[in-house]
Chains A and B, each alone.
Chain A
C-alpha cells in the first residue's frame, strides 16, 4: 500500500531535556542569550568577590574637585555616581536586586496570571466569571497606585517589593492566557480528548499547557524589563528597595536629572537592563521554536 510509505524523510527525534539543550546550543542567538544571563547570574551571586569596590563606599577621589561625578576611567571602569561611588560595583550588586525582581517577581506574576487565565478559560462558568471579573478589577486600578498602596501597607524591603510587583503584573498575563485558553478549549482535538474520557487535569496539563508555552515565554521575557523598571519607579518614590542598596532601576532614577552632564550614569544601567531583557528574549524565542514540533526545520 502506498499509504505505508513515510510521508517525508525527516529524521526521528525524541524531544527530551538533553536534546532540547543540544538544539539550543546550535542556535547562535540562544547561546548569546545564555552567555549574557550566565554572566549576570554569576556576577550577582559572587558580587562581593567580583566587584572591585564596596558599592556603598563614597570615594574621596570619586568626584572631581567641583564635586561632579567622574566619567569612566582607569580606576573606575564605568565611572562614579553623584556620591562618588563606583558605578561598576553598584551595577554588580544591583544585579542581585534586579534578578530577584526581574526573574522571581516576574516569574511569580506570570505563574499566577497563567494559572488564573487557564482555570478561568477552561472551566468558564461561575468560577471563570469570578476570576476574570477580579482580574478586570485589578486592571482598572493604575498599577503604580496599587503598588504604592501595597508598598505603603508593608514595610519596604526587597522581598515585599518583589511581591508587590508580582501582585500588580499578573493581570495582563491572565487576560491574554484566558483568551487563548478559551479558543484552544473549543478546538476539535480538545473535544476529541474529552470523548476519549480524558480528565480535565490531563487535558489541561498535556493538551492545553503545551500550546500556551510560546505565549507564556513571550510574556515572561517582556515582563523582565517592565518589572525592573517598575521596581526603579517604586524605589524612586521611596517605597521600593531602600538606599543605599543598589538596583539597576534606582541607579537610573537617582541619576536621571544629571543625564545631560553625566550620561553614563543612565546609559550604562539602562544598557544592562536592555541586555538582560534581550538575553531572556533570545532564549525564550529559541525555546518556543524548539518546543513546537510543527516549527521543526523551518527556521533552524
Chain B
C-alpha cells in the first residue's frame, strides 16, 4: 500500500496558537503520508495536538487564535495551506470530509435530518430537490439507519447518539470524499454503539475506497481500525508505522508506556482479586457497609399547564445488593441504564423507594439534616473532574470544606489534615493556594478523591471517575484508589461503562440494563463465564488493543437500547434470577 503515490502528503506542519507569552506550537514539525484507501490512526492523549492536526488540514482552525505557521499538505498536486478560501471550501466536503466527536452538538437541533442532509448535498452539486431527497435516502440506508424514510422527517433530538453519528457519517459521505477525517467519532458513544459505528466505517471504507484519518485516544480502536499508526505527544510525532509493528514492537518509550497503561480485557483471567489487592478484608470480618433492597427510582415526566404526571422514567427498577468492607462492587452498563442514579440514590441525592442501609442507618426519606451524619460514611467521586470542583475556590479550601461542614477540624489541625490529604493523593501541599483550573484532569480527580477521603468514609461511590482521563493518568488514579482500599479497607461502588477498567479493579460485578441487574457475580464469574446475552455483547464490543485479532464481525444487538420511559399504568414484570453456581445470578430472559 505504501508503494502507491500518497493521496495526501503532509510535510513539516507547524500549527501555533497565540498565548500571552507569544505563539506556542501545538503541532510541531509533523510529517506523514496517507495512501488511497488506507486508514491512518493518529493516536495520542489529550493535548497531543491530534485534533489540531485535523483542523489544520481542513483549514478550520479557530483563527486568528490558532494558525498554520509553516509546512505543506499536498493533496492532488495542490497545497491545501495555500489554497484560496473559495477553493478550500470546495475541497471541504467534496474531497475531504470530517466527522466530529460530539454527535449531539454537530447537528442543528431545529432542522430536520432530511433538510440538513439535502442542504449538504445541494451545497456542492446542483441537483433537483427530489434527486437530493433520493440521494439522502440512499445515504441513510448506506449508513444502516433503520426506517430511513421516516428519519428524514425527524429532528436530531428524536435520534439516539449512535443514530446521530450515523447521520453525521452520511453527511460526510454525501460527496464521495477521497479522505474522511474522523475526530474521536465514537468517544461519546456507548461501547456497543461504538462497535457498530466502527464496523460501519470499515464497511463503508471497503465499499467506497475512501481513505480515513482516524483520531483517537483509544488504543483498542487503533488496533481494530488502523493500517498505519501515528503516535503523537506534545504536538510531535513520537512514532509512526504499520499497526502490527507498533503494537508488537513499540520503539519509543512513550508508545511503550501508552500501550502498557491500556487495560486489556482478559488479562485478569484466572485470578479472583483486583490487580493490586494485597489482602482480603471480607474474610477477617465480613461486614456489610451497604445493604440495598428493592431500590426503585422513577422520575415523573410532567407536561401540560398543571404539570400533570404523564409518564415516568423507570431509571432503577427494584435492585438489591450488599457491599462489604474492603470490597469493590462494579456497576457496569451503558448510558441510561440507571447506574449513576443508583449511586445518587445511595447518597440520597434523588428520591427513591425501597430500603437502603448505609453503615446500619436506613436512609429512605431522610431530610438533608438527618442525612448529614450518614454522609460521613458515604462519599462520592464524580465523573468529570473539570465540572465537579467549584472553579472559584482554592483547592485547599475545597478539600477543607467537608471537614468544615461537619465541624471535624479547625485551625492548624484543619491545615495539617488538608496537607496530609494532599500528600495522600500524591499532590504537593504547596499547591493548596491554587485554583482548580490550574490543574490537569488527573490532578483534579486526585483533588476530588482527597475531598471524598477527608471525612474518612466507609464507602465511596465512584461514578465513572476515571472515564474522562487519559489512559496513563487513568491507570495512576486506579492504582491510587486501590492503594487506599488496601490501606483503609474502604468499600467502593465503582460505576463504569468500561469493561477493561472494571476487570482490573473489582471484586464483584453487577451488569445493569434498563434499570435492572441482568447478571451479578464475582468478577471471575462474570468475565470468565458470562451468561446473559447482554453481558456477552458488552464484553464482545470492547475494542481489543491487539491488531493480530481479526476485526470482529458484530453479531450484535443492532440498534439502540430501548427507552425506559413508560406510561403511568406500566407495571414492570418481576425479575427472576437463576443461580448458575456460587452466587452467580443471571436474570431470566422474559
Contacts and interface: CB of A to CB of B under 8 A. Distances in A.
A198 interface: yes
A6 B349 contact: no
Given A4-B427, A12-B433, A14-B433, A188 B443 contact: no
Given A3-B443, A297-B20, A189 B387 contact: yes
Contacts of B405: 196-199, 202
Interface in B368-416: 368-369, 371-372, 375-376, 379-380, 382-384, 387-394, 401-402, 405-406
Given A196-B405, A197-B406, A210-B392, A6 B431 contact: yes
A294 interface: yes
Interface in B433-477: 433-435, 437-440, 442-443, 446, 448, 451, 455, 476
B401 A198 contact: yes
Interface string A183-202: 00001110111111111101
Contact of B368 (A3, A199, A293, A296): A199
B397 to A, nearest CB: 9
Contacts of B390: 189, 193, 206-207
A123 B349 CA distance: 15
B406 A189 contact: no
A293 B426 contact: no
Interface residues of B, number: 45
Given A7-B431, A196-B402, 12 more contacts: A3-B426, A7-B438, A7-B439, A188-B387, A189-B390, A191-B388, A196-B455, A197-B371, A197-B406, A207-B393, A294-B392, A294-B437
B207 interface: no
A195 B349 CA distance: 7
Given A195-B375, A199-B368, A4 B349 contact: no
B428 interface: yes
A187 B387 contact: yes
B434 A12 contact: yes
A73 interface: no
B386 to A, nearest CB: 9
A136 interface: no
A298 interface: yes
B396 to A, nearest CB: 11
13 contacts: A3-B427, A3-B476, A4-B428, A14-B433, A189-B388, A189-B390, A193-B390, A193-B401, A195-B347, A207-B392, A293-B392, A293-B394, A294-B435
B430 interface: yes
Given A6-B428, A12-B434, A197-B375, A293 B380 contact: no
B408 to A, nearest CB: 11
Interface in A175-233: 187-189, 191-200, 202, 206-207, 210-211
A254 B402 CA distance: 60
A145 interface: no
A6 B430 contact: yes
A188 B388 contact: yes
B382 A188 contact: yes
Nearest to A129: B307
Nearest to B369: A199
B434 A195 contact: no
Contacts of B476: 3
A188 B427 CA distance: 23
B349 A194 contact: yes
A17 B440 CA distance: 29
Interface in A1-20: 1, 3-8, 10, 12-14
A206 B349 contact: no
A188 B436 CA distance: 14
Interface residues of A, number: 35
A54 interface: no
A292 interface: yes
B406 to A, nearest CB: 6
B392 A292 contact: yes
Interface of A: 1, 3-8, 10, 12-14, 187-189, 191-200, 202, 206-207, 210-211, 292-294, 296-298
Contacts of A293: 391-392, 394, 435, 437
B392 A196 contact: no
A294 B379 CA distance: 27
Nearest to B448: A192
Nearest to A194: B349
A296 B448 CA distance: 23
B434 A196 contact: no
A192 B382 contact: yes
A207 B398 CA distance: 11
A195 B427 contact: no
Contacts of B428: 4-6
A10 B394 CA distance: 14
A292 B448 CA distance: 21
Contacts of A298: 20
A185 to B, nearest CB: 13
Given A3-B476, A198-B401, A211-B392, A188 B440 contact: no
B19 to A, nearest CB: 10
Nearest to B385: A188
Interface in B246-262: none
Counting chain B CB atoms within 10 Å of each CB, the highest count among A4, A12, A195, A207 belongs to A195
A294 B391 contact: yes
A202 to B, nearest CB: 7
Nearest to A196: B402
Contacts of A189: 387-391
A207 B401 CA distance: 11
Nearest to B429: A4
Given A192-B389, A195-B349, A7 B375 contact: no
A119 B392 CA distance: 21
A1 B387 contact: no
Given A3-B442, A3-B443, A10-B438, A197 B372 contact: yes
B391 A7 contact: no
A193 B442 CA distance: 20
Counting chain B CB atoms within 10 Å of each CB, the highest count among A14, A194, A206, A298 belongs to A194
B578 to A, nearest CB: 36
Contacts of B430: 6
A198 B405 CA distance: 6
Contact of A1 (B376, B426, B437, B439): B426
B379 A196 contact: yes
Contacts of B433: 12-14
Contacts of B442: 3
Contact of A191 (B349, B379, B392, B393): B349
A288 to B, nearest CB: 12
Contacts of B20: 297-298
B341 to A, nearest CB: 13
Nearest to B389: A189
B434 A10 contact: yes
A4 B429 CA distance: 9
Contacts of B443: 3, 7
Contacts of B434: 7, 10, 12
Contacts of B406: 197
Counting chain B CB atoms within 10 Å of each CB, the highest count among A3, A5, A6, A13 belongs to A3
B379 A206 contact: no
